[in-house]
Amino acid sequence: MPVTEILRELAPGSVVLDLGCGSGSFPAPGGPVTFCAVDLETPPVPPARFLQADAGRLPFRAWTFDLIVCNHSLEHFLNLGDVLAEIHRTIKPSGALYVAVPDSTTLSDRLYRWLARGGGHVNPFSSASELAARIERTTGLRHAATRPLCTSFSFLNRKNARGPLPRRLWLFGGGTECSLRIAIRLLRMLDRTFGTGLSSYGWAFYFGNAGSAIDTRRWRNVCIRCGSAHPPESLRATSRWWPEFTCPQCGTLNPFE
């Protein structure tokens, strides 16, 4: 995931917060780094160093964190203004902030909200520049870069269902991985041909001291099962005419782009 670029450059002794972590929004960094994960609700399988807390009232002192990660969480906070104020208070002036959110105007987010009856997305973001400006203004951290993210529709994957399959899923081939691979290939072809954004998900934003190696290329090759994404140069395509790759994280077969 794009946040690994920042994690790689963290100095020993850095303090990192996964804010709105769910069951862990990224693998806990190794090495001499202090890590903490916060969410309002305790997930069934909490990540390492989990703390239940309101993101709008964080139980940390001012200037605690070198890096705060909000990976697909800002869209869920009812008290977004309070959360941004708490990021401003608890992040060091020399720190970095990583934010990934869905674009509410995309096919992916509309489908997700329709299928999951809202899915807890209470903050619709439709403009990357407006959101970046708001975060920059409220946290005091300079906007360093924005990276467009693609979707894999992994929320449609029947293997990811936590309960009975929603009946609406049958409109999407029942959420089988074969139907997802075909759908993604088709949408990417339409995007390439007509310049549409049907395979878009949203954006990753980097603020503050985010390091020197931010890659702003479109983040593609997202796994239809686990949702992880991988740079094309790190993957091996199975064939030239029907290229696919095996996800290094979960072993699922995916269309290669």
Q: For binding to Zn ion (CB under 5 A), which residues are involved? A: 223, 225-226, 247, 249-250, 252
CA dist., res. 222 & res. 89, Å (int): 34
Q: How far is the CB of 250 from Zn ion (least distance, A)?
A: 3
Biggest CA-to-CA distance, the chain: 55
Q: How far is the CB of 252 from Zn ion (least distance, A)?
A: 5
Q: How far is the CB of 196 from Zn ion (least distance, A)?
A: 25
Helix H or strand E segment including 69: strand 65-71
Q: How far is the CB of 130 from Zn ion (least distance, A)?
A: 32
Cβ distance to Zn ion smaller for residue 151 or 209: 151
CA dihedral (52, 54, 57, 60) positive or negative: positive
Cβ distance to Zn ion smaller for residue 159 or 168: 159
Cβ distance to Zn ion smaller for residue 147 or 225: 225
Q: How far is the CB of 244 from Zn ion (least distance, A)?
A: 13
CA dist., res. 10 & res. 21, Å (int): 19
Q: What is the DSSP track for 115-177?
A: HTTTTT--S----HHHHHHHHHHHH-PPEEEEEEEE---GGG-GGG-SSSPPGGGGGGGGG-H
Tokens representing 109 are 């987010």
- 61 — phi, psi (to 5°)? -75, 160
Cβ distance to Zn ion smaller for residue 135 or 224: 224
Cβ distance to Zn ion smaller for residue 106 or 221: 221
Specify whether the backbone of 218 is left (phi greater than 0), alpha (psi in -120 to 50) or beta: beta
Q: How far is the CB of 255 from Zn ion (least distance, A)?
A: 13
Cβ distance to Zn ion smaller for residue 92 or 230: 230
Write down the number of H helices and E strands in the chain: 5, 9
